[in-house]
Amino acid sequence: MSARIRLKKFGTKKRPYYRIVVMDKRAARDSKTIEELGYYHPIEAEDKQILFDADKVKAWLQNGATVSDTVRRILNKKNISL
């Protein structure tokens, strides 16, 4: 199984929010997750927009998980090197 760190969509129409999760690479966007690492609210204020556990992200990256392009940009905003 190849794991991937990516976003899982929640919320309503025009008010989305996302959870940063670890999922199987082949799974659908809203299917079962392996682990939840944090969240991303694109509509909230800058200081409340992104929250995640950096230690868990680094652990998953060391175990061979890949990162989606969008999550890579989010992690770069918080100065997490990949």
DSSP conformation letters of 14-80: TEEEEEEEEEETTS-TTS--SEEEEEE-SSS-GGGSEEE-HHHHHHHHHTT-EE-HHHHHHHHHTT-
The answer for 64, left when phi > 0, alpha when psi is -120 to 50, beta otherwise, is left
Domain ranges of the chain: 3-77
Alpha carbon distance, N-terminus to C-terminus of the chain: 21
pTM higher than the cut 0.75: yes
- Residue 71 tokens read as 């999550």
Grade residue 18 by pLDDT with cuts at 50, 70 and 90.
Answer: very high
The whole-number pLDDT of residue 1 equals: 64
- Residue 14 tokens read as 């025009």
Judge whether residue 30 has pLDDT over 90.
no
Q: Kindly state which CATH superfamily the domain 3-77 is placed in.
A: Ribosomal protein S16 (3.30.1320.10)
What's the CA gap between 29 and 40, in Å, rounded? Answer: 15
